[in-house]
A and B are shown apart, each in its own frame.
Chain A
Amino acid sequence: MLDSVDLETRLADILDAHRGMEGALLPILHAVQAAFGHVPQEALPIIAKDLNISKAEAHGVMSFYHDFRKKPAGRSVLKLCRAEACQAQGSDALAAAVQAKLGLDWHETSADGTVTLEPVFCLGLCACGPAAMVDGQLVGRATVETLLAKVRA
C-alpha cells in the first residue's frame, strides 16, 4: 500500500512539472502511471482539484483509456497483438497457447504476481507477425517459447 504522504509529495512534483501545459491530464496520468506502476485511485481527486475539473471527469478520462490501470500489474506485462494482420499469421493459436501455458485469460495477472497478460491492437509490426511486447520490448514472429523466455521469473 502506498503511503499517503509519499503519494501526495510525488504527485505534487508531477503536477508542478505539468503546470501551464495545454490539455495536461493525459500527460499527468502517464507520468503517474510511470511513477507508481498504476494510477492510484487516491490520486484522482488530487489531480482533479489541481486541474479544476470534477472528480467524475478525472475518473471518466482515466477509465476511458485502455492503458491506464487501477491496480499494479504483474512484474512482467505481456501484450499480444490481436489485430487482423497478426491473425493472418496465426496470432489466435499463439494467444490460445500462451493463455494455456500461463493459465491466464486476457487482463489477468498470475497469482504469484509474475505476469499480466493483455491484448493489444496493433504494434505496427504487421509484416512480421505475430507481434508482441514484453515489458516494452518489441517481439516479431513471436512463438510461445520466445515469449515465455522473456517473461521475468
Chain B
Amino acid sequence: MKIWLPLDSAAVALGADDIAAAITAEAAKRGQPVTLVRNGSRGMVWLEPLAEVDIDGTRHAFGPMTMADVAGLFGDLASHPKALGPTEELPWMKAQTRLTFARVGVIDPLSLADYKANGGLQGLTRALELDKAAIVTEVTESGLRGRGGAGFPTGIKWKTVSDAKADQKYIVCNADEGDSATFADRMLMEGDPFCLIEGMIIAGLATGATRGYVYMRSEYPVAIKVMEAAVEIARAEDLLGAAFDMEIRTGAGAYVCGEETSLLNSLEGKRGVVRAKPPLPALEGFMGKPTVVNNVISLASVPVIMAKGAKHYKDFGLGRSRGTIPLQIAGNVRHGGLYEIAFGLTLGEIVDQIGGGTASGRPVKAVQVGGPLGAYFPRALFDTPFGYEEFAGKDGLIGHAGLTVFDDSADMLKMARFAMEFCAIESCGKCTPCRIGSVRGVEVVDRIAKGDTSAIPLLTDLCNTMKLGSLCALGGFTPYPVMSALTHFPDDFQPMKEAAE
C-alpha cells in the first residue's frame, strides 16, 4: 500500500505530521506494510492535510484528513467519508497548466530518481549541448520575466552577466519570499527542490558563474530543511561540484532583504540596507562581482523552458506576459491555494470562480494583489486581465502573484494605516522618503481617522514623494496600497463614518 501525505508547511500547520504518525502506527497495528511518501502539496490548501492513496495505479485524494479519518484509509476506500476521487480529476487540478509546478505534490521531493523519472534534468541535458549564448537566447525568447515581481526579462539579465568579464561570477536565488499572500517559492522548494537546483546550474552554464547561493527566510523552517537536504543529495550524486556548487543561507527576519541589493548586502554579512543602482548587480553584485539575482520561480521555470523549448513556454500567456504564473489565492477565501495558469484570466474569474468567493460567505470587498506593496482592487476592477502591463494600467501590480481576499468587514483606512506602519517597521533607513515618510504616513492616516479630512491631500502628496523619491520598492510602492484604498474606498476615509452607519 502506498500513501502520500505532504510535508509542505501548510499541511504541517494543519496537522499533517500527526496524521503521518497515525498512519504509520495504524499500519503497524494491522501488520500491513505501507510506503508513506511525504510529498509537496498539490496546492489545495482548504483540503490539507490531503492524503493520497494508490488504487490500481491511480492516486485518489482524501481530505481534509483528521485523526479520526486515518483508520478508514485501511478499510473500504470507496466509502471513506473524505474520499474525493482521483486527484488529477479534481476540477482544481484539471483546469491548470502546470509547467513550473508540474512535479510539486507528485514526486518525493528528496528522491533524485523520482525527479528524473518525471522529466527532471532534461532541461540541463539540453543546456549542456548548447553554448552559453544559445542558452541565453532560449531563455530570452521564452519571454520569461522576473517572477519576484519586477518583471524584468530574465534572458536580458543573464546576457549582461554572461557578457561581463570577471574572475568569479555568482547566481543568487532570491528566496526571501516575505510578501503576505505569497507562498509559491516555499511550495516549490518544499515540493520540488531539485528543480530550483537544476535552474541554478543552467543559469551558471549560461553566464559562466560557478557559485550559487539561495537566500531563504528564517520563517520557512521546512523549506530550509528540504533545500539543505537536496543540496547534499545533489552533491553526493555529482550534480553539484567543481563546475557549479551552491549553498543555502538564511536571512534573519528583515522584509527589506527581499529587495535584491539589500539581499546582497545581507548575504555579504552586512546590514540589509539598499544599494543605489547603478551599478547593477549584474555587473557589481555579490562581493562586487557580476551576479544574477533571480527569484525562485524564475529559476525554477528555466528547466521546463530548456526541456520543451522557448516556443512551448511562450505560446502561453497574454500580451507581453508570456508563459504561466503560479497564482497564490489567500486571505478570506473559500478555496485558497496555489493555481498555475497562463496569464490572462481576469481578476474576477480568479477570485469568484477559482477561489469561490470568501470563506466567511460575505461579499468580497477588496483584493490586494502583489503583496503588502500591491494595490487594493475593488469589484469594479474585476475585469482586469492578469498580466504585468494590464495591472500597471490600473495603478496596480501583480508582484509575485499573491492575492489576498477581504470580505466587506474590512476597514480600508485601517489597511492603509497598516501599509504605512509596516513600511516604518521594515524600512532599512537608508533613504528619507521611506524612513520618515512612512512614520509621517501613519500620523496622517490617524488624523484622517479622527475626522480631519484636510489631511487627505497631505496623504496624497506624501505618497507622491515616497513614490518618486524612494530608493527601492519598499518606500516606492507603499503608496500603492495606501492610494488604492483611498481612491477606491473613499467612504472608509470619511469622518463620522461610524455615526453615519
Q: Which residues of A are interface residues toward B (Cβ below 8 A)?
A: 22-27, 29-30, 51, 57, 60-61, 64-68, 83-89, 120-129, 131, 133, 136, 138-141
Chain B: interface residue total (CB-CB under 8 A):
64
Chain A-chain B contacts (Cβ-Cβ < 8 Å), number: 157
Known contacts A29-B252, A67-B253, A23 near B269 by CB under 8 Å? yes
Q: Which residues of B contact A24 (CB under 8 A)?
A: 269
* A64 partner, pick from B10, B220, B254, beta carbons under 8 A: B254
Known contacts A23-B267, A127-B46, A121 near B332 by CB under 8 Å? no
Q: Which of these binds chain A: B87-95, B180-188, B389-397, B441-449?
A: B180-188
Can you identify 16 A-B contacts, CB atoms within 8 angstroms? A26-B266, A27-B250, A29-B252, A65-B251, A67-B253, A85-B181, A85-B402, A88-B405, A89-B332, A121-B426, A122-B180, A122-B182, A124-B177, A127-B329, A127-B337, A138-B222
Q: Which residues of B are interface residues toward A (Cβ below 8 A)?
A: 9-10, 12-14, 45-46, 48, 177-183, 186, 217-223, 249-255, 266-273, 286-287, 328-333, 336-337, 359, 368, 371-372, 402, 404-407, 410, 415, 418, 422, 425-426, 428
Evaluate contact between A83 and B267: CB separation under 8 angstroms.
Answer: no
Evaluate contact between A65 and B328: CB separation under 8 angstroms.
Answer: no
Q: Which residues of A contact B428 (CB under 8 A)?
A: 64
In the assembled complex, the Cα of A85 lies from the Cα of B330 at a distance in Å of 6
In the assembled complex, the Cα of A88 lies from the Cα of B329 at a distance in Å of 12
Evaluate contact between B9 and A124: CB separation under 8 angstroms.
Answer: yes
Evaluate contact between A22 and B268: CB separation under 8 angstroms.
Answer: yes
16 further contact pairs, Cβ within 8 A, besides A86-B180, A121-B255: A22-B287, A23-B268, A26-B266, A27-B250, A65-B253, A84-B418, A124-B182, A124-B217, A126-B181, A126-B328, A126-B404, A127-B333, A127-B337, A128-B10, A138-B9, A138-B222
Evaluate contact between A122 and B178: CB separation under 8 angstroms.
Answer: yes
Evaluate contact between A67 and B252: CB separation under 8 angstroms.
Answer: yes
Q: Which residues of B contact A22 (CB under 8 A)?
A: 268, 286-287
In the assembled complex, the Cα of A106 lies from the Cα of B199 at a distance in Å of 40
Evaluate contact between A65 and B254: CB separation under 8 angstroms.
Answer: yes
Q: Which residues of A contact B222 (CB under 8 A)?
A: 138
Dominant secondary structure at the A interface? loop
Evaluate contact between B183 and A125: CB separation under 8 angstroms.
Answer: yes
Evaluate contact between B9 and A85: CB separation under 8 angstroms.
Answer: no
In the assembled complex, the Cα of A88 lies from the Cα of B45 at a distance in Å of 16
Evaluate contact between A88 and B331: CB separation under 8 angstroms.
Answer: yes
Q: Which residues of B contact A51 (CB under 8 A)?
A: 269
Known contacts A23-B268, A84-B372, A127-B46, A68 near B252 by CB under 8 Å? yes
Evaluate contact between A128 and B48: CB separation under 8 angstroms.
Answer: yes
Q: Which residues of B contact A66 (CB under 8 A)?
A: 252-254
In the assembled complex, the Cα of A24 lies from the Cα of B223 at a distance in Å of 21
Evaluate contact between A126 and B330: CB separation under 8 angstroms.
Answer: yes
Q: Which residues of A contact B337 (CB under 8 A)?
A: 127
Of B14, B46, B269, most A-chain CB atoms within 10 Å: B269
* A83 partner, pick from B14, B270, B332, B372, beta carbons under 8 A: B372
Evaluate contact between A84 and B404: CB separation under 8 angstroms.
Answer: yes
Q: Which residues of A contact B219 (CB under 8 A)?
A: 120, 122-124, 133
Q: How far is the CB of A78 from chain B (nearest CB, A)?
A: 14
Q: Which residues of B contact A128 (CB under 8 A)?
A: 10, 13-14, 45-46, 48, 336
Q: Which residues of B contact A57 (CB under 8 A)?
A: 270
Q: Which residues of B contact A123 (CB under 8 A)?
A: 9, 13, 219-220
* A84 partner, pick from B251, B253, B255, B415, beta carbons under 8 A: B415
Evaluate contact between A84 and B331: CB separation under 8 angstroms.
Answer: yes
Question: In the complex, what residue of chain B is closest to A89 when comparing beta carbons?
Answer: B332
* A65 partner, pick from B9, B13, B252, beta carbons under 8 A: B252
Evaluate contact between A126 and B182: CB separation under 8 angstroms.
Answer: yes
In the assembled complex, the Cα of A28 lies from the Cα of B269 at a distance in Å of 9
